[in-house]
Amino acid sequence: MTYYADFSLYDYDFHEKPEGLTIGWLEDGYDYPVDEVSEEDLANIIDLGSLRQHRSRGWHSCTLCGEYTEHTATSKRAGITYRLGHAEIRAVSDDGVLYVAPNLIIHYIVDHLYGPPAEFIDAVRSEVRRRWPEEK
């Protein structure tokens, strides 16, 4: 995968204007913040991950693990288990900022204790409220 520091411009297609800010694009050899993520916030991230936005044609693995391992996540809200490493999680804050994370962020949080910035967590909460308003 590609490393981007948190809050870098997400510039996937050089033909178009950057569309958001990167969160959780980790790679071996780069430091990252360690922090706890609440079970509710993790479940929200997993639920948004079940949407499998901007899928890639290939699979990316975690370079922090040292060996190839497949990772999955289970969304209770969506009722599915899905594989990580081929899609993005996108969340828009209340003030309109788009945050873009690889769905491997779930593995990074669970197994490597990555602590996403508070701005991303707030945007995830907002995105969940918008997508599933009847539940919150």
Output the pLDDT for position 15. Answer: 56
Q: Which residues, 6 or more positions from 17, have their beta carbon under 8 angstroms from its beta carbon? A: none
Whole-number Å distance between alpha carbons of 87 and 56:
6
Question: Given pLDDT bands bounded at 50, 70 and 90, which one contains residue 13?
Answer: low
Whole-number Å distance between alpha carbons of 98 and 62:
24
pLDDT tens digits, 23-81:
999 999 999 999 999 999 999 999 999 999 887 777 788 999 988 889 999 999 999 99
Whole-number Å distance between alpha carbons of 25 and 38:
20
Q: Greatest CA separation found in the chain?
A: 43
Output the pLDDT for position 17. Answer: 66
Instruction: Tell me the domain boundaries of the chain.
Output: 9-135
Q: What angle do CA 5, 9, 11 make, to 5 degrees?
A: 110
Backbone angles phi, psi at 118, to 5 degrees: -60, -35
Residue type, 2: T
* pTM score over 0.85: yes
Q: Which residues, 6 or more positions from 121, have their beta carbon under 8 angstroms from its beta carbon? A: 37, 41
Instruction: Provide the token pair at 114.
Output: 């990555």
pLDDT tens digits, 93-131:
999 999 999 999 999 999 999 999 999 999 999 999 999
